[in-house]
Amino acid sequence: MGSSAREVASWVEGAHREYWATVLTAAVRVTRDLDLAEDCAQDAFVRALRAWPDGVPENPAGWLVTVVRRLALDRLRRETTLRRKLPLLIEDPVAAEDDERPTDPLRLVFTCCHPALARDSQVALTLRLICGLTTREVAAGLLISEATAAARITRAKKKIAAAGIPYRIPTDEELPARLDAVLTVVHLVYTAGHVAAGPELTRTDLTGRAIGLARLLVRLMPAEPEPQALLGLLLMTQARGNARVSQDGELVLLADQDRSRWDARMIAEGVSRATAALQQGHGRFALQAAIAGLHVTAPSWERTDWTQVVRMYDAMLVGWPSPIVELNRAAAHSLVPGADLTAVLRELDALGNQSALKSYAYLPAARADVLARLGRPDEAVRAYDEAIALTVNEAERRFLHRRRASLLSAAPSA
């Protein structure tokens, strides 16, 4: 007896999340064209919807890769005029079906992060191709409009085609020019999964993929401190995962988490990698890893060294200034014992003029928290309303609603 349409759709959705990058990479190896490869990869999952009612294959990834290669070869045979126009994305002849290399996931990342592409296009294209995120999800992750995200992705693909950018791991001489971009997009892949757009708080397929890519980067460039720092940062963040959700499925902030539920082994590896990176320099991800280390090694939220956290953000602002770093610094500053909360509020209000933060829910949420602590509940409620309107994650939205409701319930009766 066949499976129901709902069951099959669930299976295919899970396979899409887990194997999208693998299937797309297989198609690129055959087609040498990103648009055509993406079409074939999408068609492979459509074929799964039709074929899997009779049963999910024992090796879903292998089934999808086989199907996408056949689809790609068929398209190439039928579109002989297109074949002559394809950009050379693979330098060597198409490899045999079993000739997959351990670094293959990085090949596509490095293709997307070619220095011929603008940085914003690199990031948008990687999130679309490596993560399989929709254009809407890419836009949400980058705090831009859906139309802007679509334009960036289209421009990047056209540039790759026009420039004949090769699909390969760069040479040792070329790696440093691309490393920062690759680190950035891997971090964004993790961020997209850590707080996902939609009903789920976390997408473990994306967080797992980012950690896997970070490990590959460490293997590829073992002497470089920043890949070590990024991996350490992701591991320390991931270690807190179980404590982020209560038994009834609600979001639990770091301040209220049961630290006994943190993964001690993952924390130990993360701290070790972050420490090794910091011994070699103070790069962007080394500083972020240092902040994560201060959180995971503190015995409690109250005993976190907030003064040192602020100093780490100050160092980031010197070398890598951004409105989000400014916001994080202000939020940390508000937690330093004896901090002037009125001055912190002025910092947050000034950040409201930054275009990059206009649609960033954490800014009004931070304002709401400071306003509540200043004893200005009416303004805090309005700030929570603004944050709720901007939040794309359902678990975070429910949390903000609870915070808002607690302010209203605590207000004195007229």
Q: How far is CA 88 from CA 49, 175, 319, in A?
A: 32, 20, 37
Query: For all residues of the chain together, what is the average pLDDT?
Result: 87
User: Both tokens of residue 137?
Assistant: 């999800």
Which domain, by its residues, includes 10? Answer: 1-86
Dihedral in degrees, nearest 10, Cα atoms 269, 294, 176, 142:
110
Confirm whether 376 is domain-assigned. no
- pLDDT by residue (tens digit) across 240-275? 999 999 988 899 999 999 999 999 999 999 999 999
Percent of the chain with pLDDT over 70: 91
What pLDDT score was predicted for residue 411? 65
Q: pLDDT at residue 224 above 90?
A: yes
Instruction: Give the three-class secondary structure for 251.
Output: strand
CB-based burial, 386-410: b 16+ in 10 Å, e otherwise = bbbebbbbebbbbbbeebbeebeee
Confirm whether 245 is domain-assigned. no
Confirm whether 191 is domain-assigned. no
pTM of the model: 0.83
> 105: which residues sit within 8 A by CB, 6+ positions away?
21, 22, 25, 130, 209, 212, 213, 216
- Looking at residue 71, which CATH number applies to its domain? 1.10.1740
What pLDDT score was predicted for residue 105? 67
Confirm whether 43 is domain-assigned. yes
Confirm whether 167 is domain-assigned. no
Q: pLDDT at residue 82 above 70?
A: no
Which has more pLDDT, 170 or 353? 353
Confirm whether 361 is domain-assigned. no
Which has more pLDDT, 309 or 136? 309
Q: pLDDT at residue 99 above 50?
A: no
Confirm whether 12 is domain-assigned. yes
- pLDDT by residue (tens digit) across 57-77? 889 989 999 999 999 998 888
Confirm whether 236 is domain-assigned. no
Taking residues 204-223, what's their average pLDDT?
A: 90
What pLDDT score was predicted for residue 214? 94
Q: How far is residue 27's CA from residue 41's CA, in Å, rounded to a whole number?
A: 7
Query: Domain tally for the chain?
Result: 1
- pLDDT by residue (tens digit) across 302-343? 999 999 999 999 999 999 999 999 999 999 999 999 999 999
